[in-house]
Amino acid sequence: MVKMVQPSFVFSVLSIVGCAVAASWIGETKEVDGVAYQCKCYQDNACWPKGTDWTALNKTVGGALEIALPPAAACHNRVGNLSTNVYNQQECAEVQSKWTDEQWLTDHPVANLWPLYTNNTCLPSNDPNTPCTRGFYGSYVILATTKAHIKAGVDFAREHNLRLLIRNTGHDFMGRSAGYGSLIINTHSFKEATFAKKYDGPGKWTGSAATVGAGVQGRELYRQAFAQDPKVVIVGGECPTVGWAGGYIQGGGHGPLTSVYGMGADNVLSFDVVTATGEYVTANADENADLFWALKGGGPSTFAVVTSITVKTFPEVPTAGTILNINTTHTNDTAVFDEGFRIFHNLSNHYTDNGMFVYFELNLGRLHVAPLVGPRMDEAKLKQVLKPLFDQLDAAKIPYDAYTRAFPTFFEFYMDMFEDEMPQQNSIVGGRMFSQKDIAENGDQVAKALLFASQPTNDTFGFSVGHIVNPGHGVPVVDNAIHPKWRNSSSFVITNLIMNGDESWEMKELRADQQTNIVGKALREAGPDGASYVNEGDLNEPNWQESYWGSNYPKLLQLRKKWDPEGVFYAQTTPGTEDWSVIDYGTKLCRKV
């Protein structure tokens, strides 16, 4: 028996459908605590592709195959056991200056914006002798610029039984953009977006539409939509660097216009994809309708590699926003602060009933609401809608500061009032979607649980990011894979337990357990009618099939078996991953046998 420690924070037992591969490409068999596993092929296995195989692949993809190097590699003489000296003083200086630049990181072939799941084994340094390994970044990356490149990578991974990773921007809280020893297909170069004033394809939509490449990011998509004549808007996320078509949509996709126009996936008209068998497939209401349904919220990197998406667009709308702060400049009285947060959050149903979206950040003694978004509102209308909030804060003598601005278009509002996030943060992520019923019947307990998440134990501190949103307000009925509970949502909050990134496996495992069984438990108890969100949730979520997809899960599992019968794709806590686990300290992806 090979004895291995498997910290649950990365390696909870997950499953996928059966993996039928050629005998010559079967990876090693391992046994962990009495459970037998058959692994993917890795570099220390006889089944690992030979140099001539990689050379042939590189020729097939026109030289687009590269060794996967961590973004800070240029600051080090050596990367792991690679023999080549990679140190470059000029490139290292760029790394150090751009280390917290989201756009630079998303444009990198393999970088992750949140590095905990890369294992933080190659960081910027002034000393090139500092050790650097590739950690969990992967072995090779195809910088795909054509569908044929993607097909070649999928075929190669399937035929050689390699772990395959689909990477667009690395904007990923849950480690799905990293994988030890993997072959990475980078889709970030698929940047084309075209707009049509009238859609004439399958389905009932006859309004305007856009076809968006997998690599297009949120802010650039908003910018291109604004440049149309007439100007249009698209349902996207609040973060400017999120990969809109390559990841965001497959999880569902919430954002500032969701309470008006629904989730991002609610508005999809068609997908172009490469399947696990290397086929080019279109999925829409008329062609491959089952795959079309699954891709709309069924999970990232799960059913196929998306190359482009056709989606509804809508006329630009006037939008107003309010910034609200309650923090230590206003009060150091915990009871006063907590009451201020309770008043603010208990009005979640009121905000969404008026078609609003609210983004907030919460940690000890700090509430930063930036902003409360009022689509189709001017300043007077937004102030009228928010009057109950400020009346209650004033009546309770809660100190705060706030200001409101109005803009003729959503795009101008977005560019002015939303703030960029800071990458390179290490945290264990969890979260909960609270329903309209949860807020109406249990709002005080929900607020209490969220405040508790800021310091769940004496030596553990948290940071929460909230999104008050209800797609069911604008689009009450849909036919897609998103958890039906989202039609009655009120507030979705991501909780983070803050880490340094250099903790021991034991400490990481402890923090993961605290996220799931202390913070997560409090959230689930406070919001029993709620659910979880596959793009931003707990990898160890109990009963994750129900929490992430509810009644849609059995159909999703069936479709996974149909569209990926050999288990080519893998992303943790997604349909069909019940029998897989990452063992050997976060390295090898293996299936129970």
CATH assignment at residue 283: 3.30.465.10
Q: Are 274 and 332 part of one and the same domain?
A: no
6 has a pLDDT exceeding 80: no
CATH assignment at residue 487: 3.40.462.20
- 456 is a domain residue: yes
Q: Are 420 and 542 part of one and the same domain?
A: yes
Q: Are 335 and 407 part of one and the same domain?
A: yes
At 66-95, the pLDDT tens digits run 999 999 999 999 999 888 899 999 999 999
pLDDT score, position 415:
97
pLDDT tier for residue 26 given thresholds of 50, 70 and 90: confident
Q: Distance between CA atoms of 163 and 42, rounded to whole angstroms?
A: 8
Q: Are 496 and 536 part of one and the same domain?
A: yes
Q: Distance between CA atoms of 222 and 39, rounded to whole angstroms?
A: 42
293 neighbors 480 (Cβ within 8 angstroms): yes
pLDDT tier for residue 42 given thresholds of 50, 70 and 90: very high
Please identify, among 261, 288, 315, the residue that sits at the C-terminal boundary of a domain.
315
**Arithmetic mean of pLDDT, 460-477:** 98
pLDDT tier for residue 503 given thresholds of 50, 70 and 90: very high
222 has a pLDDT exceeding 80: yes
- Alpha-helical (H) ranges within 501-579 are 505-514, 520-526, 544-549, 553-563
Task: Provide the mean pLDDT of the chain.
Answer: 94
- 50 is a domain residue: no
- 358 is a domain residue: yes
Q: Are 232 and 329 part of one and the same domain?
A: no
- 395 is a domain residue: yes
Q: Which of 421, 7, 408, 375 is nearest to 175 (CA)?
A: 7
16 has a pLDDT exceeding 80: no
Q: Are 373 and 256 part of one and the same domain?
A: no
Give all strands of the β-sheet with 140-143 in edge-to-edge order.
Answer: 65-67, 140-143, 183-186, 164-167
17 has a pLDDT exceeding 50: no
Q: How many domains does the chain have?
A: 2
Q: Are 257 and 331 part of one and the same domain?
A: no
53 has a pLDDT exceeding 50: yes
Q: Distance between CA atoms of 154 and 166, rounded to whole angstroms?
A: 10
- Cα of first residue to Cα of last residue in the chain, in angstroms, is 15
- 463 is a domain residue: yes
At 379-399, the pLDDT tens digits run 999 999 999 999 999 999 999
74 neighbors 95 (Cβ within 8 angstroms): yes
Q: Are 200 and 347 part of one and the same domain?
A: no
Q: Distance between CA atoms of 417 and 419, rounded to whole angstroms?
A: 7
CA distances from 460 to 124, 452, 503 (A): 27, 11, 13
pLDDT score, position 24:
58
**Arithmetic mean of pLDDT, 456-481:** 97
DSSP label at 244? I
523 has a pLDDT exceeding 80: yes
Q: Are 292 and 411 part of one and the same domain?
A: no
At 188-221, the pLDDT tens digits run 999 999 999 999 999 999 999 999 999 999 999 9
Q: Are 285 and 382 part of one and the same domain?
A: no
Percentage of the residues of the chain whose pLDDT score is greater than 90: 92
Q: Are 427 and 295 part of one and the same domain?
A: no
Q: What residues contact 351, with CB distance under 8 A and at least 6 apart? A: 357, 358, 372, 385, 468
3 has a pLDDT exceeding 90: no
pLDDT tier for residue 9 given thresholds of 50, 70 and 90: very low
**Arithmetic mean of pLDDT, 15-35:** 64
Q: Distance between CA atoms of 335 and 340, rounded to whole angstroms?
A: 9
Structural domain boundaries, residue 286: 193-315
- DSSP 3-state of 114: coil
Q: Distance between CA atoms of 96 and 71, rounded to whole angstroms?
A: 10
pLDDT score, position 32:
86
Q: Distance between CA atoms of 416 and 297, rounded to whole angstroms?
A: 30
- 455 is a domain residue: yes
- 36 is a domain residue: no
DSSP label at 491? E
Q: How large is the C-alpha radius of gyration of the chain?
A: 23
- DSSP 3-state of 589: strand
Q: Distance between CA atoms of 571 and 165, rounded to whole angstroms?
A: 8
- 90 is a domain residue: no
Q: Are 250 and 284 part of one and the same domain?
A: yes
pLDDT score, position 7:
32
